[in-house]
Amino acid sequence: MTEEARGATRRLPATTDCSPAARDARLARLGEDGHLLEAISGVAPDMAPEALAGSIEGFIGFARIPLGVAGPVRIRGRHADGDFIVPLATTEGTLVASFQHAFNVINRCGGAVAACSRQLVGRAPCFTFTDIATAMKIVEWLPTQLPLMQAAAATTSRYCRLQSAKTSLVGNTVYMMLEYSTGDAAGQNMVTLATQAVCQQLLPLMPHAPESWLVESVLSGDKRASAQAFLGARGRNASAEIVLSSRVIGRYWRSDAAGMARSWNQATVGAAQTGAVGLQGNVANALAALFIACGQDVACVSEATTSITRCELTAQSDLYVSVTMPNLIVGTVGGGTFLPTAKESLGMLGCTGPGTAAKFAEICAVVALAGELAVVGAMASGAFAAAHASGGRKGRGTGDA
């Protein structure tokens, strides 16, 4: 029995129990699993300012965001395999409770399947030339330089490797999409430095000098929702799925498989009228709460929400639900992951050693899946507003199973 799997057998107090005793019971339960959580629980002193050099300037202290746990949730992923207690930092009342509710549904159905299918981060410099004819020559020349570009990129980091380079011509300007692997790091800074090195390598060799150039042309999709997420590489790509029977749906929401699918159809058509990129409910909720807890770059919520949620009847009249996040800028080293509360949160998920970024991406996908189940379930049972009414500022969330 793995450490992760063991956890499933002992239950946490009801999520809605906000007594000190319930908090202590949760901490004790996590402590049994080897997670001391001294920073999160406030026992450990705050970090010294000097230790934050390089991570923050103008430092005066810390924002404190309430952190709750939901789980365990069973995940049957390629990299994440077991039962997980998930840390979520938020001030949106009922959020953690609604994830707990959805985790219960997932567990009852045997757990969520997940897979991280790609780990690449993009950067996209551009070069403007005098005219299209010159730019075309560069478009033809650039592919011949791939080995030199890869060598230049490799000098900047032990982990950052240039995997491919694609070009597009827009008038006299050549845009180049560079796709890198970045190990377990989110990799945004890594790929910026590598791209700088690639450009410094290319510029003196170019048959024609550009009139101007940018190391990042916004083509990479950095910090914005865009279709680029699906068609190029901008972070890890992870999917999670679950199949629910009408019987299970009826037990947890006032609906059935057909009702859930029908509600999602209505929402899909709503989304289509807005010009939204992607097709999802509220995955931003899951990501923001996880990212704050786990030391991720929270600004990347803007691009990571570019997801696709599916919610369809199967041939057996069950409900198939999946979430695909093509654009997860997440990492388990670098960035804010060294902060004490982030380290403890990642530790809870078993995502601190080498090779754990894909595992973390799969957990993100499953948590997002749970959030989508909660949204569609609320839609279908007409409980959307009711959930907000009974919970929120009044202290009563929707119940645990």
Minimum CB separation from a second copy for residue 246, in Å?
13
Active site residue 17: no
User: 340-348 and 283-293 are packed helices; what angle lies between their axes, rounded to 10 degrees?
Assistant: 120
What are the Cα distances from residue 9, in Å, to 3, 12, 261, 366? 11, 10, 32, 20
Q: Which is nearer to a second copy, 145 or 196 (CB)?
A: 196
Residue with tokens 């300037």: 57
| 107 counts as binding a second copy under rule CB under 8 A | no
Binder of a second copy out of 2, 110, 131, 164 (CB under 8 A)? 131
Asked whether 217 and 210 are in contact (CB, 8 A), the reply is no
Minimum CB separation from a second copy for residue 227, in Å?
3
| 73 counts as binding a second copy under rule CB under 8 A | no
| 104 counts as binding a second copy under rule CB under 8 A | no
Minimum CB separation from a second copy for residue 7, in Å?
14
| 262 counts as binding a second copy under rule CB under 8 A | yes
| 33 counts as binding a second copy under rule CB under 8 A | no
Asked whether 267 and 286 are in contact (CB, 8 A), the reply is no
Query: What's the chain's length in residues?
Result: 401
Which residues, 212 to 241, sit near a second copy by CB under 8 A? 212-219, 221-228, 230-232, 237, 239-241
385-399: string of b/e by CB count within 10 Å (b at 16+)?
eebeeebeeeeebbe
* Cβ neighbours around 240 below 10 Å, total: 30
Asked whether 161 and 187 are in contact (CB, 8 A), the reply is no
CA distance 348 to 86: 7
Encoding tokens for residue 25?
């019971």
Q: Which is nearer to a second copy, 150 or 226 (CB)?
A: 226
CA distance 251 to 270: 27
Q: Which is nearer to a second copy, 225 or 248 (CB)?
A: 225
Minimum CB separation from a second copy for residue 349, in Å?
14
Q: Of the residues 33, 92, 216, 400, which is catalytic?
A: 92
Candidate ranges 36-44, 141-149, 157-165, 245-253; the one touching a second copy (CB under 8 A): 36-44
Binder of a second copy out of 36, 109, 139, 154 (CB under 8 A)? 139
Active site residue 211: no
Q: Pick from 394, 98, 376: which is nearest to 262 by CA?
A: 376
Binder of a second copy out of 96, 162, 165, 364 (CB under 8 A)? 96
Active site residue 388: yes
CA distance 11 to 13: 7
Which residues, 142 to 181, sit near a second copy by CB under 8 A? 168-173, 175
Binder of a second copy out of 8, 70, 80, 165 (CB under 8 A)? 70
